[in-house]
Amino acid sequence: MDISSLCIVVIVTFLALLAFLSVIKKKVSGSGTYTSGRDIPGLKVSHAQHGNLDLITKHGGFNGFLLWLHQQYGPIAKFWFGEQMVVSIASPQLFKETSRMFDRPGLLFKMLEVIITEKAIQYANKEDGKWRRNTYDSCYSHNNVMKSIGMLQKLSEEMVGRWSQIPHGEHVPCRQGMFMFAIKAVMQSSLGNFFFQDEEVFKFWESYNTSWSDMEQRFLKEDFPQPGSEREKIFNEAKKYMYDTIAAAIEVRRKRPTTEKRKMLIDVMIENNIPYDVMQCDVLMFIIGGFHTTANSLLWALSFISAHSDVQEKMYQEVKNILGDTGKITPDNIGQLVYTRQVIDEALRIAKIAPYAARFDDDNDVKLGDYVIPAGTPIIQAINVEYNDPARWPNPNEFDPDRFSPEKVSERHPYSFQPFGFAGKRKCPGYRFAYAEVTTALANILLSFQIQGVKGQEVKASCGLLGALDDEVWITLEKRSSGSVQPMK
Ligand code: HEM
């Protein structure tokens, strides 16, 4: 063999070897046990069965843990949830790359199963999940939300009316009022005018609190109730109350179908023959998903507004000018409250109400930046970490609604602020309703009162699964009359 033939044989053999290796690598990577591309930075397993649960618990849940993880390892980092490797991402570019994925890894939300059960929309993927979302989403379309404005305005007036009865100077606790308002709003928008007695609303809220805090105790402290214990009994009774309430609402609606043009969640479910047990869990998911988040957003917003008189005054002037003599929110004026929307967005950013979303692809590897994530690996979209990045949010802990001025927004990557999850078919179905609800409540409060925080009160985030407040928000009220502030009688 001459030298040139030898060279050709060597090159061909080398290329064949490369092709062979790449096929092997692809196969192994598809099996979910090997990550091709550069190795993803991140944690090693702390415990064979619990993975890094010790660190998640130490940081008070995913919210604190993800902030810490990305501080250590940058915008993409892996950790172990039990025996499963999880990849967390925290940059607008990486969020964009995952924004078309639909399926959600149930494993990361398994703790909620004790309340909403495994049949809930939260765990529905592939064709079933897409069909359910497609069916339900129409209930919270722009048009349908606009048809709910009258109801939201009425509930806001009711809340403001109650506050007007409070003697001047008294410290007002906001939590109960905001939760009662938010539960009524989401109940009436999804179930119709079924749920109106305050005692029932209050009992529903209490039942939810009991079951939610028990669930957090199980997940964050690995503290489970003993079978047959008093704690288990209390948990089961609280859960039953919520399910019984929903069952009663379904029954009422079945017997008395709506004649209204606006189709509610319950009507759409009945029309589409959603199985009864699925209907119950999905309604509960919408109700909990709807009121926990909006009530906490309102509480955060009130605590910021009461501490920033300049912001409050600017908001008040806007509300007064746009609402005019009627003093009511309507479908025509709500979109004009531009500064109010900036305040709400800034409160959502700091509060990190829903700190993360998650996706996975069970069938294919996912290419993310320089990495290939093996099929089946849960990918966390760490929204909360992005909101703390000083590169896009200078002094991230400072409350500054001007960050959301149209000019500032246009300078930022669109994926740097997506509090309702990312574009695509799995974004929060209630996002339009949430904005309408929070805007209507705040506008009505500010139109009636000047609010102030109570001296010495320090508002802190609680260490739980969602961005809630640790403590009560206390305010004092000065009644406004025709644009000026009047002390209350
Ligand atoms: C400020 C208020 C709210 C925030 C910050 C919020 C945030 C979120 C986020 C981040 C998700 C996950 C999205 C994803 O996986 O990409 C979600 C899901 C969901 N939200 Fe909201 N949400 C709010 C209000 C509401 C309201 C008012 C409703 C009901 C009317 C609602 C119902 C739901 C439901 C049912 C899901 C699960 C959807 C599914 O599994 O496909 N949320 N929300």
| CA–CA separation, 488 and 165 (whole Å) | 9
How far apart CA 480 and CA 476 sit, in angstroms, is 13
DSSP-derived secondary structure letter, 3: H
Residue 147: pLDDT band with limits 50, 70, 90: very high
**Would the CB of 426 count as within 6 Å of ligand 1?**
yes
Q: Tell me the pLDDT tens digit for each residue of 314-351.
A: 999 999 999 988 999 999 999 999 999 999 999 999 99
- Asked if 225 contacts 232 with a C-beta cutoff of 8 angstroms, the reply is yes
- How far apart, in whole angstroms, are the C-alpha atoms of residue 210 and residue 234? 8
- The answer, yes or no, to whether residue 31 has pLDDT greater than 50, is no
Residue 22 confidence (pLDDT) above 80: no
DSSP annotation of 476 reads: E
What is residue 195's predicted lDDT score, i.e. its pLDDT? 66
Most confident option among 10-19, 213-222, 359-368, 462-471: 359-368
pLDDT at 222: 82
The first and second tokens of residue 359, run together, are: 């996706």
Question: Which atom of ligand 1 is nearest the CA belonging to 140?
Answer: 30
* Predicted local distance difference test score (pLDDT) of residue 220: 77
Q: Give the whole-angstrom CA distance, residue 117 versus residue 136.
A: 18
Q: Is residue 139 annotated as involved in ligand binding?
A: no
Cβ 192 under 6 angstroms from ligand 1: no
Reduce the DSSP state of residue 38 to 3 states and report it: coil
Q: What is the pLDDT of residue 487?
A: 46
CA-CA distances (angstroms) from residue 284 to 75, 103, 105, 292?
34, 20, 20, 12
Q: What is the mean pLDDT of residues 118-139?
A: 96
Task: Tell me the CA–centroid distance for residue 429 and ligand 1, in Å.
Answer: 6
Q: What six digits make up the tokens of 411?
A: 């300078």
Q: With cut-offs at 50, 70 and 90, classify the pLDDT of residue 202.
A: very high
Of 149-153, 220-224, 474-478, least confident by mean pLDDT is 220-224
Cβ of residue 290 lying under 6 Å from some atom of ligand 1? yes
Q: How far is CA 308 from the centre of its chain?
A: 25
CA 381 to ligand 1: nearest atom: 16
How much distance in Å is there from the Cα of 206 to the middle of ligand 1?
A: 21
Report how far apart, in Å, the C-alpha atoms of 126 and of each of 130, 189, 276, 362 are.
6, 27, 21, 10
Distance of CA 157 to the CA centre of its chain: 26
Let me know if 95 is exposed, middle or buried by CB neighbors in 10 A (0-12, 13-18, 19+).
buried
Beta-bridge partner residues of 81: 51, 84
Tell me, using a 6 A CB cutoff, whether residue 289 lines ligand 1: yes
316 lines ligand 1 (CB under 6 A): no
Residues 75-98 have pLDDT tens digits of 999 999 989 999 999 999 999 999
The β-bridge partners of 452 are 476
Q: Which numbered atom of ligand 1 lies nearest the CA of 421? A: 16
Our mutation pick for probing the ligand 1 site, out of 422, 428, 437, 440, counting the most ligand atoms within 8 A of Cβ, is 428
Residue-level pLDDT at 423: 73
pLDDT over threshold 90, residue 371: yes
Distance CA 341, CA 344 (A): 5
| DSSP structural state of residue 358 | E
Is residue 341 within 8 Å of residue 404, measured between CB atoms? yes
Atom of ligand 1 nearest to the CA of 104: 15
Task: Tell how far the Cα of 240 is from the centroid of ligand 1, in angstroms.
Answer: 23
For ligand 1, atom 27, name the residue with the nearest CA. Answer: 290
Ligand 1 atom nearest to CA at 356 = 10
Distance from residue 421's CA to the centre of ligand 1 (Å)? 8
12: pLDDT strictly greater than 70: no
Residue nearest to atom 19 of ligand 1 (CA): 428
Instruction: Name the band, by pLDDT with cuts 50, 70 and 90, for residue 455.
Output: confident
Q: Is the pLDDT of residue 171 over 80?
A: yes
Question: What number of helices (H) and strands (E) belong to the chain?
Answer: 18, 10
Task: Determine whether the shortest distance from the Cβ of 75 to ligand 1 is under 6 A.
Answer: no
pLDDT at 66: 95
482 vs 195, which has greater pLDDT?
Answer: 195
Atom of ligand 1 nearest to the CA of 285: 35
**Would you tell me how many other CB atoms lie within 10 Å of the CB of residue 178?**
24
Quote helix, strand, coil % in the chain, to nearest 5. 55, 10, 35
422-432, pLDDT tens digit by residue? 877 899 999 99
Q: Is 467 in the pocket of ligand 1 (CB under 6 A)?
A: no
Query: What digits encode the pLDDT tens for the residues 436-445?
Result: 999 999 999 9
Rounded mean pLDDT, 197-222: 90
Ligand 1 proximity of 355 Cβ (cutoff 6 Å): no
Query: What is the DSSP-derived secondary structure letter of residue 380?
Result: E
**C-beta 344 within 6 A of ligand 1:** no
Closest atom, ligand 1, to C-alpha of 123: 40
- For residues 122 and 116, the answer to whether their CB atoms sit within 8 Å is yes
Q: Which of 179, 288, 173 has the alpha carbon at shortest distance from 238?
A: 288
**C-beta 427 within 6 A of ligand 1:** yes
End-to-end CA distance of the chain: 108
User: Is the distance from the beta carbon of residue 430 to the nearest atom of ligand 1 less than 6 Å?
Assistant: yes
For residue 104, how far is its CA from the centre of ligand 1 (angstroms)?
13
Regarding the beta carbon of 286 and ligand 1, being less than 6 Å apart is answered yes
**φ/ψ (deg, to 5) at 224:** -100, 145
pLDDT of residue 23: 37
Place of tokens 């109801």: 151
Give the DSSP H or E segment for 221.
Answer: helix 198-221
| Residue tagged 């309102």 (tokens) | 298
* Contact between 380 and 88 (Cβ < 8 Å): yes
